[in-house]
Chain A
């Protein structure tokens, strides 16, 4: 069970939207995390620095919040290390193949009514929902 948190979640979304707006206003770039992180893993280019700085902001933010708000980092799902690794590989390969994730397609793309982003978001939501459903119903929530 997790608690329904409409207000905190809306406020969190507002901060995410502000962060994405900041990146566009200052750097002229889309806040797509998979694209930014994937770019860091490529051959260094003129974009490597700001991308690294953004990723570092995410990491340092997590480090500070881990102490300031540990309740934001509880896991409460039963997944084996192997399941987590397979999931990570799928998310890494899939977000690069599909040119985006929840932030790039789900927020930035849908905001400008991109047909590609809308369809990508519907697809990953539907497959995510089906996957979670199967894990709960067939595997009893343990994988």
Chain B
């Protein structure tokens, strides 16, 4: 089987998970974030389900010497608490709270043709490209 087929299937499985979980419905996300309105704790269960499965699977997978399709396991090792981490997370939280989309659901909902997502996704890509430009400039300065 061609290697990219597994990545495609993983992406498709991820999209079904997001849809079933309710992550592709902005109102559900916002009702989770806003405890003062009609609080809907469902999304805490999404995280719980994903954490349990991945938390069990990851140590088992890492017993292997290498990934099935070759190469090596790339797992982040950074532990520094930089301003970038907090400012970035805060900016993300702001956008998430406004639109009710994080990146995965935005891509999947755009695939479904949802108008808000079709507007959000190019803006998100634009924000990423802006970051890449800014980051390259910062690196050139140092």
Interface residues of A (CB under 8 A from B): 1-6, 8-31, 33-34, 37-38, 41-42, 49-63, 65-66, 69-70, 72-77, 79, 81, 83-99, 101-103, 105-112, 114-116, 119-121, 123-133, 135-137, 141, 143
Contacts and interface: CB of A to CB of B under 8 A. Distances in A.
B120 A50 contact: no
At the interface, is chain B mostly helix, strand, loop or mixed?
helix
Contact of B124 (A4, A13, A70, A92): A92
A123 B61 contact: no
At the interface, is chain A mostly helix, strand, loop or mixed?
helix
Nearest to B9: A57
Contacts of B68: 25-26
Contacts, number: 496
A38 B52 contact: no
30 contacts: A5-B42, A6-B41, A13-B49, A13-B51, A17-B52, A20-B57, A24-B61, A26-B6, A53-B7, A54-B11, A56-B8, A57-B13, A58-B14, A61-B11, A65-B16, A69-B19, A72-B24, A73-B109, A74-B27, A87-B101, A91-B92, A93-B91, A93-B130, A94-B94, A97-B131, A98-B86, A102-B103, A112-B58, A129-B33, A129-B93
